Amino acid sequence: MKIGPKFKIAKRLGAPIFEKTQTQKFSLSEARRGKQRKRMSPMSDYKRQLLEKQKMRLSYGITEKQLRRYVDEAVAKSNQPIALLMERLESRLDNVVYRLGLAKTRRLARQIVSHGHITVNGRKLTIPSHRVRVGDEIAVREGSKQTGLFIELAERHESGAVPTWLAFDLKKLSGTMKATPTYQPAETMFDPEQVME
């Protein structure tokens, strides 16, 4: 999925949703822009909801069509659609690879999956949107363990960053989904309630 100029998009959305925008330079430019925004007219509800939707979509690297499908599914299947929507987004294979710490960003995780470096329950998968279920084992393919992506993983991996619903074994380069993903509002840069509205 082609995104475009990340710095411009992050400025427009007012959130550092990309890796390259999570720098001091970006936060300083945002602080300057904050003073200018105070003089501007207040934002309409529609614009606020649209910005939140774009933040969600670009954070997970999904298309408009995929997000629409996830939202429709969450509304149809549950009386708590926000929790189900976030569970569905978090259980995508590319997101699980990112959460396990095998990739620094979700975009890199998506690429790792697409290039066939990941197996689910011993079977190679190249579909980033594959839904990982409780009990599934996600591992780096045997032939990919010696590639540059994973050789130095032991030094840069942060075990504390792996969420509680996942278990990860650094020696085997494999992880398991222990429970269904839980929505933590503090971890997200967007408001799912605005998206659902």
Separation CA 121–CA 96 (nearest Å): 14
What's the pLDDT score for residue 77? 85
What's the pLDDT score for residue 33? 62
What's the pLDDT score for residue 24? 64
Dihedral-angle region of residue 80 (phi above 0 means left; psi in -120 to 50 means alpha; beta otherwise) = beta
What's the pLDDT score for residue 8? 67
Separation CA 144–CA 164 (nearest Å): 26
What's the pLDDT score for residue 181? 87
Separation CA 75–CA 81 (nearest Å): 5
Q: What is the mean pLDDT for each group of 10 consecutive residues in the chain (197 residues)?
A: 65 65 63 59 80 84 90 87 89 92 88 92 92 92 85 76 87 90 75 77
Smallest CA-to-CA distance from 192 within 118, 102, 90, 107 is with 90
Angle, alpha carbons 126-68-8 (nearest 5°): 80
Dihedral sign, CA of 125, 127, 133, 139? positive
Separation CA 13–CA 81 (nearest Å): 24
In one letter, which amino acid is 98?
A: Y
The answer to whether residues 26 and 7 touch, using CB atoms and an 8 Å cutoff, is: yes
Separation CA 7–CA 11 (nearest Å): 6
Locate 59 and state its tokens: 């954070």
For 48-80, b where at least 16 C-beta lie within 10 A, e where not — what string?
ebebbbbbbbbbbbbeeebbeebbeebeeeeee
Locate 39 and state its tokens: 């003089």
What's the pLDDT score for residue 184? 75
DSSP string for residues in 77-105: H-S-HHHHHHHHHHTBHHHHHHHTTSSSS
